[in-house]
Amino acid sequence: MPFINAKISKKVTEDQEKELKTRLGQAISILPGKSESWLMTGFQDEYHLYFRGDNSEPIAFVEVSIYGGPDRTAFGNLTAEITKIFGEVLGIAADHIYVKYSPTADWGWNGGNF
């Protein structure tokens, strides 16, 4: 039950959004037991972000919400892949991307909770 939500300071084209969705769908399998078949993604482009008090370069804040407990090794591997994806697709430098993980034991779907 992962959800990846990205706030991006620059305009994202439809083709770029589709590529992000596809590549994040592949990358999510880095987390044990997770797959694209349960992945939901969201993208907010032209979001007003500042990093170090500046917004002159592209910036991204990526939130990964998952059902289950934390796995620091897998999170680290996924951060590397997310950073690579956003760099290659959108030209955002690795040092201008934050990735936040929110594991939870409570997740609802289809009118109930797991």
Question: CB 43: neighbour CB atoms within 10 A?
Answer: 18
Structural domain of 12: 3-113
List the CATH number of the domain containing 69: 3.30.429.10
Average pLDDT (102-111) is 94
DSSP conformational letter for 51: B
Does residue 103 contact residue 69 with C-beta atoms inside 8 Å? yes
What was the pLDDT predicted at 82? 98
Q: How confident is the model at residue 1 (pLDDT cuts 50, 70, 90)?
A: confident
Q: Number of folded domains in the chain?
A: 1
| Cross-strand pairs, 104 | 67
Q: How confident is the model at residue 45 (pLDDT cuts 50, 70, 90)?
A: very high
Average pLDDT (4-20) is 98
Q: What is the pTM of this model?
A: 0.95
The yes-or-no verdict on residue 18 having pLDDT over 90 is yes
Distance CA 74, CA 19 (A): 22
